[in-house]
Amino acid sequence: MADVLVVGELKNGELKKISKELTSAARKIADAIGGKVHTLLITDNVDSFAGDLKAVGADAVIGANLGEFSPEGYANGIFAVIQEKKPAVVLMPHSAQGKEYSARVAIKANAGIVADAVGLSVDGGKVVAKKPIYSGKAYANFKVSSDIQMFTVRANSQEVTPKEGAGAVEKSGASAGEVRTKSLSKDLSGGNKVQLADASIIVSGGRGIKGPENWPIIQDLADTLGAALGASRATVDAGWISHSHQVGQTGKTVSPNCYIACGISGAIQHLAGMGSSKYIVAINKDGDAPIFKVATYGVVADLFEVVPALTSEFKKVLG
């Protein structure tokens, strides 16, 4: 059998979109290589999510209760499921957590891994993974030559297509095992209401917002759209906002469907972090700013006038 195992993710007790994106991608791979799709969720409440995952192609939805997140514990548990299911292909999210446990899982399973894939196709029974390299200045296609082929996949890079799977629900007895890093405390006060890494819309502010007191203008638009708030390096270095909002080479790499850059000039390091966004809107007074080279829609105007107008216009149409 050439089965595909997906590791899904939950956030605050809800299914993250990446779980459906990966299950849908796994369905296409499994259909091409002749196998089943197993989607694993780390939860003791797998029944609530089985329907959603079955609808996008999961033949089996597996719940494993591994307790609070730890990269070692998740890696131990996921590897136990791999040993049981013996998949040919494993898809994991290239999320903050996924980056950590995937590395350990790959070594445990003696598998080659392509991280941060944005394209998945099948050629000669093997998965071909496409990923941006050199800050998006080139794309590489890889095949994995080990028995198990592993991939971490960027959020928003895969289409969710309805296709009914068998949807059997299973509870795994896999456990977290020995974990040598203990969490003492967490501080989530400086964070985003919507996570940058998997946001489908991001509204970002740059030096053009002139000062930290003007973030509410950008945040209002983000809130109206249910978007994450991003920031350029200049605003972070100036101390206007915490580093967790930074998009770009020394911040986060994002691939939303829509990226709205307000007062961002578009330094190459910023473009490296958001250049793969599907649609890019640039609002900037300087018509020669490099951001306009990548913008789908360019608005050469004062953000202090356009952004509030945009927010109220969206409020009207989105109700």
Partner 1 sequence: MKIVVLVKQVPDTETNIKVGDKSINEAGVKWIISPYDEFAIEEGIRIREKSGGEVIAVSLGPDRVVEALRTAYAMGVDRAVHVKVDDYVTFDSTYTSELLANFIKAENADVIIGGRQSIDTDSSQVVVQIAERLNVPHVAMALKLEFDGKKVTATREIEGGTEVVETSAPLAVTAQKGLNEPRYPSLKGIMSAKKKPVDVKKPEELGATGSKLEVVSLEPPPPRIAGRKLEAADAQGFASQLVKALREEAKVI
Near partner 1 in 230-259, by CB under 8 A: 243-244, 249-251, 253, 257-258
Q: Is 127:146 a contact under the CB 8 Å cutoff?
A: no
Q: Report the site for partner 1 in 25-84 (rule: CB under 8 A).
A: 71-72, 75
| Residue 133 binds partner 1 (CB under 8 A) | yes
> Least CB distance from residue 166 to partner 1, whole Å?
31
Of 60 and 221, the one with the shorter C-beta distance to partner 1 is: 221
| Residue 312 binds partner 1 (CB under 8 A) | yes
Q: Report the site for partner 1 in 268-297 (rule: CB under 8 A).
A: 268-269, 272, 275, 278-281, 287, 292-297
> Least CB distance from residue 28 to partner 1, whole Å?
18
Facing residues of 205 across strands? 231, 262
Determine which residue in the list 32, 122, 128, 168 makes contact with partner 1, applying CB under 8 A.
128
> Least CB distance from residue 308 to partner 1, whole Å?
8
Tell how strand 10-11 and strand 14-15 pair up: antiparallel
Q: Which residue is listed with tokens 């793969």?
A: 276
> Least CB distance from residue 199 to partner 1, whole Å?
12
Q: Is 1:36 a contact under the CB 8 Å cutoff?
A: yes
Determine which residue in the list 143, 159, 210, 238 makes contact with partner 1, applying CB under 8 A.
143
Of 5 and 225, the one with the shorter C-beta distance to partner 1 is: 225
Q: Report the site for partner 1 in 85-114 (rule: CB under 8 A).
A: 95-97, 99-100, 102-104, 106-108, 111-114
Tell me how far apart the alpha carbons of residues 158 and 117 are, in angstroms, rounded to a whole number: 10
Show the tokens assigned to 70: 């730890």
> Least CB distance from residue 306 to partner 1, whole Å?
5
DSSP secondary structure, 212-248, as one string:
GGGHHHHHHHHHHHTPEEEE-HHHHHTTSS-GGGBBS
Q: Report the site for partner 1 in 182-221 (rule: CB under 8 A).
A: 182-192, 195, 197, 200-201
Phi, psi of 211 (to 5 degrees): -175, 160
| Residue 124 binds partner 1 (CB under 8 A) | no
Of 37 and 115, the one with the shorter C-beta distance to partner 1 is: 115
The sheet that has 4-7: what strands, in order across it? 112-117, 149-153, 89-93, 4-7, 37-42, 60-64, 168-172
Of 60 and 228, the one with the shorter C-beta distance to partner 1 is: 228
Q: How many CB atoms lie within 10 A of CB 15?
A: 17
Largest separation between any pair of C-alpha atoms in the chain: 59
